[in-house]
Amino acid sequence: MKKYINFDKWDNPMNNNDNKKKLNKLLDFLYHHGFDFYYGYDDFLNKWNEIINDIDKTAQEKSDILTNYLDEKWGLYDGWEDVYNLLLNLLNTE
């Protein structure tokens, strides 16, 4: 799994350094808990950008959507709550 991302290819001005740090913290957490994307990594990055930049959603809604997306696509098994709580903590600092 890619642990860190080259963001140079992204033109969206909403992709600020804070969002990049949050994503890297999530990816690091997932990596250390044995999670691997196997396929669809770019799909996840697109979903991340779509949700993280949606100003109409709360941190709870964003956390729920992203956690459910990861679970549906790759399966989080017993780690669903851990991922949700991490995302909630990261996104509540907005």
- How many angstroms from the chain centroid is the CA of residue 37? 12
- pLDDT at position 5: 52
- Percent pLDDT > 90 in the chain is 56
77: left (phi over 0), alpha (psi -120 to 50) or beta: left
- pLDDT at position 10: 47
Q: Are 29 and 83 in contact (CB under 8 A)?
A: yes
4-30 residue pLDDT tens: 455 544 445 445 788 899 999 999 999
Give the confidence band of 81 by pLDDT, cuts at 50, 70, 90. very high
What mean pLDDT is reported for the chain? 84
Q: Which two tokens stand for residue 79?
A: 């780690």
